[in-house]
Amino acid sequence: MDSFALEDLMTGKVAPLGPREVPSGIVKTSVRSTIRLTRNGLAGDEQGDMVRHGGPEKAVHHYPFDHYATWAEDIGAHELLRWPGAFGENLSTRGLTEGDIAIGDVFELGTATIEVSQGRQPCWKLNQRFGRNDMAKSVQFTGGTGWYYRVLAEGEVGPADRLKLIDRQSPDWTIARIWHLFYMDTLNLCELEALVELTSLAENWRVHAARRLQTQEVEDWTMRLTGSELQGCAE
């Protein structure tokens, strides 16, 4: 793992999404020129729910284009799967998936520096986006979730830039490993204890692991995956 070309660099404006017409910035369009990347994300990229989306720990969303062929096999030749952006990602690449990426991995992109902060917890807005009531659940249980970056150094980024790995702080803690702990081996107390101590992991995920350790119960995912008019995404 070293350097990866961008399949696409994307931003999106808030607009009504799906039959519920919920405000969302999940629909992205390609960026054709260099833009600014700040601590809170790419210039022109918006979120419909600033409580649960965006912010410094989720400044940039990356989703592997590698998964698109598998999704087409699973759900059919959906129109959204013809090009990057179906999952609301800002960055699209090939050859880099959840099993390769670890918390604390640091990359250069253009003149900016970004660090992997957490995986994505899919929510019901994916159901609205794809017109499928089970899409968020499918994303969660396949492990093809994508991940987020925090911005360590602001800079200028463009669609011709390459994503260059420059540091790895905790290579054993891949996004895939954390996904397996959160959704498969859910009460592995030793793993949860170690995760709480992973300082480069976003604080809300460490709190999440600590709560599960304390209660020794798995939280109910139903509302996040199915939603209601009054509930956002608990990412």
Quick check: 12 and 29 in contact, CB under 8 A?
yes
Domains belonging to the chain, first-starting first, are 3-172 (2.40.33.20)
What is the rounded CA–CA span in Å between residue 145 and residue 129? 15
pLDDT in tens, 150-199: 999 999 999 999 999 999 999 999 999 999 999 999 999 999 999 999 99
Mean residue pLDDT of the chain comes to: 93
Where on the phi/psi map is residue 95: left (φ > 0), alpha (ψ -120 to 50), or beta?
left
pLDDT in tens, 108-147: 999 999 999 999 999 999 999 999 999 999 999 999 999 9
3-class DSSP assignment, residue 64: strand
Which pTM was predicted? 0.94
Phi, psi of 44 (to 5 degrees): 90, -5
Quick check: 141 and 111 in contact, CB under 8 A?
no
Residue 133's closest CA among 230, 12, 19, 49?
Answer: 19
